[in-house]
Amino acid sequence: MRRKQWHIQTRVLVMMTALVSAVALAVVLLFNLSVRWYIRGRVSTQLDSIIVSESENMRSGRGQRGARDFDEHPDKVTGTRGSAVVLAEDGALLSVLHGDMKVGAELSEYFSRGRGLREAERKELISLESGSYMVSVCADPLVSGAYLVYYVDVSSIMAFTNLVNLLLIVIVLAAVMFSIILSRTLAHSIAGPARILSDFAREVGSGKLETRELTFRDMEFSQLAESMNQMVRQLSAEKHKQEIFFQNVSHELRTPLTSIRGNAEGIVYKVMEPEQAGSIILSETERLSGMVEDILYLGRMGRGVPEGAFPPLDLREVISLCVSEQRAEAERLGLSFAFDFDESPVVFPIREQDGHQMLGNLISNAIRYANSRITISCHQNGKEVCLAVRDDGSGLSQQDMPHVFERFYKGAGGRHGIGLSIVQSVVDAYHGTVSVKNDGGAVFEIFFS
């Protein structure tokens, strides 16, 4: 199932607005809970102090209502004072011990239309017309069926709370507006470069391999733009190589095919000796077949070696096999081989076919350019393997040196310019290095580790 897609600007806007709103609501909720906890804690303590003080007064002998004095208990932190009234069980006002008569009447009306004093909570926060009060109800020990209602006016605290809530709401609205503006700016700064890079990628996908000079304030976008330009340069270089490759392939294939066709026509029209023409056709066919095999092998190596571990091969044996296959050609040209091998096996995990192609092409190349002698070295130093093929020819020209491993690049005396490309591909596939230098002739060195 395909997931719903969002614009970056919409997603950033929703996320920032939700985050700011959640934080603001959490602050408002925490503040109101703290105020209520403060009122219930601090004011309840004040009420308890009043009740204890009044109980002690009653035990001291002041038992008549008219003679009973009410001790005020001002709270030094909240600035509130405790007051008290006496109500009947049905809520009727009997007397006001201390406080405003209007508040006493409102308390009487509140408890008359409510659950009654018998079922009232011991302490509760109530709201009346004159303000908000924290009240505590207990039975009057002097009058049967009457109740003492102690209360503390917390209207100033609630007014302050409402003011702070209003201020917080204004702050929340301002923060939401600011988050909207900020999110739009932030989203544009992200979506703009992303859109430019997306258009750039679309052009590259359509085959327009041209770099762009792109500069962004964000380092990540600048790095991505540089990486895309580097990709374009590499794709352009690979495309150019591919064009050169096909041009060279068509040229190399055309030469033997032209020769084969000419000799075949000579046989048909009886202008050439069949045996001579047939020999040329076989030679050119063999050359064409070898070149096609090399091209196919080069293509396979371009896709990398198969996954998995390969059994270690003794490279001395691979060299000996390659030399034995080409010894007849070398002896025909008057060439001899010299070997510089370790006495112990020189082992390296490589497919036998790849090792044979790599070393066989190096030896074949040396046979074409050597004057009289080819020296092959094979050594192992710890985990490093070093192979070298040296001929005593005239060496490579400075013009040919940088291009010898390029596909279809042919120096003087070259066949079709694929052999050394195969060497390079095999060495790269096995994470080795290959180099060439002149030292009394051409010297090709390969290192594996």
Q: Is the predicted pLDDT of residue 75 greater than 60, yes or no?
A: no
The residue-averaged pLDDT of 409-435 equals 76
Domains in the chain and their CATH numbers?
A: 8-59+69-162 (3.30.450), 219-302 (1.10.287.130), 312-448 (3.30.565.10)
What pLDDT is stored for residue 85 in this prediction?
86
Q: What is the pLDDT of residues 36-57, one digit of tens each?
A: 777 667 667 767 776 666 666 6
3-state secondary structure of 245: helix
Mean pLDDT of the chain: 78
Q: Tell me the C-alpha distance between 431 and 429, whole Å.
A: 6
Q: What is the pLDDT of residues 354-394, one digit of tens each?
A: 888 888 888 888 888 888 899 999 998 888 899 999 998 88
Q: Please, are residues 329 and 360 in contact by the beta-carbon 8 Å criterion?
A: no
**Inter-helix orientation angle 274-302/419-429, to 10°:** 20
63 — pLDDT class (breaks 50, 70, 90): very low
What pLDDT is stored for residue 416 in this prediction?
58
Q: Is the predicted pLDDT of residue 72 greater than 60, yes or no?
A: no
Q: Is the predicted pLDDT of residue 252 greater than 50, yes or no?
A: yes
What pLDDT is stored for residue 79 in this prediction?
59
Q: Has this prediction a pTM greater than 0.75?
A: no
Q: Is the predicted pLDDT of residue 338 greater than 70, yes or no?
A: yes
Q: Is the predicted pLDDT of residue 73 greater than 70, yes or no?
A: no
What pLDDT is stored for residue 393 in this prediction?
84
Percent of the chain with pLDDT over 90: 2
Q: Tell me the C-alpha distance between 435 and 424, whole Å.
A: 9
What pLDDT is stored for residue 115 in this prediction?
61
Given the structure tokens 């009394």, which residue do they identify? 440
3-state secondary structure of 226: helix
263 — pLDDT class (breaks 50, 70, 90): confident
Query: What is the per-residue DSSP string for 119-134?
Result: T--SEEEEEETTEEEE
What pLDDT is stored for residue 406 in this prediction?
75
Alpha helix (H) ranges present in 139-218?
155-205
What pLDDT is stored for residue 135 in this prediction?
85
What pLDDT is stored for residue 235 in this prediction?
87
Q: What is the pLDDT of residues 344-356, one digit of tens each?
A: 888 888 888 888 8
The residue-averaged pLDDT of 150-162 equals 81
What pLDDT is stored for residue 98 in this prediction?
80
Q: Which two tokens stand for residue 232?
A: 């374009």
Q: Which two tokens stand for residue 305?
A: 């070696």
